[in-house]
Amino acid sequence: MVDSLVAAVDRRETVVGVVGLGYVGLPLVFAFDDAGFRTVGFDIDESKVKSLEAGKTYIKHLPDERIAALNASGRFTATTDFSKIGEVDAILLCVPTPLTQQREPDMTYIVKTAEAIAPYLKKGQLVTLESTTYPGTTDEVLLPILERGGLDGRKDLYVAYSPEREDPGNQTFSTTKIPKVVGACTDDARDYACHLYRQIVPLVVPVSSNATAEAVKLTENIFRAVNIALVNELKVVYAKMGIDVWEVIDAAKTKPFGFMPFYPGPGLGGHCIPIDPFYLTWKAREYECATRFIELAGEVNVSMPDYVVERLADALNERRKALNGSRVLILGVSYKPDVDDIRESPALALIRKIAQKGAHVDYHDPFVARIKVTRAHAELAGMESVPLTPENIASYDAVLIATNHSNIDYSHLVEHAQCVVDTRNATRSVIVGREKIVKA
C-alpha cells in the first residue's frame, strides 16, 4: 500500500493537513503549497482562520503578501472543523508542548489534539507529530489515543515523529532549507513520511525509531542551553575581573577548530531552549538517571534576570540613584531579535523583577505593540510599547537593552540616554557616550 501512497505524493494528489497554524505549522503550509500540494490548516483559534481567509498575517515575520500568495494558489483552506481530518491524507501535528508550573511536561495540547482527530481518522493516513517532547511521547501518549477511533496504529495508520526545527525570523535557514529528521512506528511509516518531507526539504534523515527522533530534537536544544549557560557563567566571572566576555568570545572564535561561539544574555527565551531540557530531566527520572549537568545549566540560565537586575541597581547606584523610585525603560520584549514572539522571554521576568524593586518600568519594542497574556506573566498583559523619541529616552534613569533588534539606532539611543545597561552587546559599535554603557 505504501507504494501507492508514495506515487500519490509524486503526482501531488496527497492532501496535507497541518494542525496548529502558529510559528511551526504556518511555514509548513507555505512549504507544501509552494511544492504544489493541496493543504488544509486546522486550528482551534478562529481568529487565526479568519485572518488567513482575509489575507492578513498574525505573525510579523510572515508578511501579508505571503498569506495573499497562499490564498491565490487556490490550494489552501483553513478551518476549525476537525471533522474534516478525514478529507486529508497526511496530518502534521504542530501544537505547543509547554511545561507545568512544576517544570513537568504539559501534554495537554497533544492529548486534546489526538482526541479531536481520532474519531475522523481513516485507514492509510499518515500522522506525524512535530512538537518537541520527551522520548516515548509518540509511542506512549499519541499512538494509544489515535487508536481509540478503532484503527490499528501500526497496521492501519502510518505514525511518525519529525521534530520541528524552526528558527523564527532566520533569513538564512527557513523551513525548506533545514533538513528533517524522521522516526516512525514502522518501516513503511518512515518510508512514507520521509518521501513526503523530501518534497519540501533538501535532506531527510531517517532514524531507527520515534524515540530516537524525539531525542535528536532534545539533544540539539540541550546543547544550546548548556553552552549558553557556560558563557553566562563566564560573563559573571569575567565581569568581576574587568574583562568583556563578548570581546573574549569574538577573539576565541577566530580559532578555526575546536571552538563554537555562543553568546550570553539576560536569560533564555522562546518556545524551545528554556523548556526542552526539562523534558529530558523529567523522563530520565523514570530510569533513575541523574541529569545534573543539564539541571545546573538550567539553574545558571534561570538566574540571569536576577544578575541583570543587580547590574542595573549597581549602575544606578554609581550615578547616585536608587533602583527604588527610578524610571527604567526595557528595550525589546521579544525573546530574540526582529520577531514578535514573547514566549518565555526573559524581558518579561525583568519587567516584573524591576517593578518589584519599586521602579517604574516601561518598554519599547518595534515588533510588540502590546504584551499579550502569557502563562507566567499574566499581570503584564496590556502593557503597551512607548515611543523611542529623544525626549522619552532622556526621561528614564536607565535604558536596559533586553533584546537587540536590528532596526534600533543604538548610537542615537546612547546619545540621549542617561544610562544604558546592555545585556546583548548591542552597543558594541557605539563610539560616542561609551561612559554611559554598562554591560550586563
Whether residue 288 sits in one domain with residue 208:
no
Rounded Cα–Cα distance for residues 285 and 313 (Å): 39
Identity of the amino acid at 423: T
Query: In a 3-state reduction of DSSP, which class is residue 79?
Result: strand
pLDDT exceeds cutoff 80 at 102: no
Whether residue 163 sits in one domain with residue 27:
yes
User: Residue 150: what pLDDT?
Assistant: 93
- Within-domain flag for 103: yes
- Within-domain flag for 232: no
Whether residue 282 sits in one domain with residue 197:
no
Average pLDDT on 90-109 reads 90
Structural domain including 139 reads 2-212
Whether residue 270 sits in one domain with residue 208:
no
pLDDT exceeds cutoff 80 at 98: yes
- Within-domain flag for 416: yes
Which of 187, 212, 237 represents a domain boundary (last residue)? 212
Whether residue 298 sits in one domain with residue 203:
no
C-alpha cell at 351: 519587567
Whether residue 57 sits in one domain with residue 180:
yes
Query: Within 13 Å and on the Cβ side, how many CA atoms surround 237?
Result: 8
Which of 169, 191, 212 represents a domain boundary (last residue)? 212
pLDDT in tens, 247-288: 999 999 999 999 999 999 999 887 677 788 888 999 999 999
- Within-domain flag for 68: yes
Whether residue 205 sits in one domain with residue 120:
yes
Q: What is the CA radius of gyration of the chain?
A: 24
Question: What is the pLDDT confidence band of residue 20, given thresholds at 50, 70 and 90?
Answer: very high
Whether residue 390 sits in one domain with residue 325:
yes
pLDDT exceeds cutoff 90 at 110: yes
Whether residue 187 sits in one domain with residue 283:
no
Rounded Cα–Cα distance for residues 107 and 99 (Å): 9
Average pLDDT on 173-199 reads 96
Report the chain's mean pLDDT, rounded to a whole number. Answer: 95
User: Residue 430: what pLDDT?
Assistant: 97
Whether residue 174 sits in one domain with residue 291:
no
- Within-domain flag for 282: yes
- Within-domain flag for 176: yes
- Return left, alpha or beta for 34; rule: phi > 0 is left, psi -120 to 50 is alpha, else beta: alpha
- Within-domain flag for 304: yes
pLDDT in tens, 369-428: 999 988 788 899 999 999 999 999 999 999 999 999 999 999 999 999 999 999 999 999
User: Residue 61: what pLDDT?
Assistant: 83
Q: Is the dihedral of CA 24, 27, 31, 33 positive or negative?
A: positive
Residue 40 is part of a domain; what is its CATH number?
3.40.50.720
Whether residue 171 sits in one domain with residue 78:
yes
- Within-domain flag for 388: yes
Tell me how far CA of residue 101 lies from CA of 39, 45, 80, 105, 106, in angstroms. Answer: 36, 24, 29, 10, 9
Catalytic residue among 94, 185, 194, 272: 272
Question: What is the pLDDT confidence band of residue 171, given thresholds at 50, 70 and 90?
Answer: confident
Whether residue 273 sits in one domain with residue 207:
no
Active-site annotation holds for 272: yes
Q: Which residues contact 161 (CB under 8 A, 6 or more apart)?
A: 128, 129, 130, 137, 138, 182, 183, 184, 210, 213, 214
Q: How many independent structural domains does the chain possess?
A: 2
Which of 190, 212, 234 represents a domain boundary (last residue)? 212
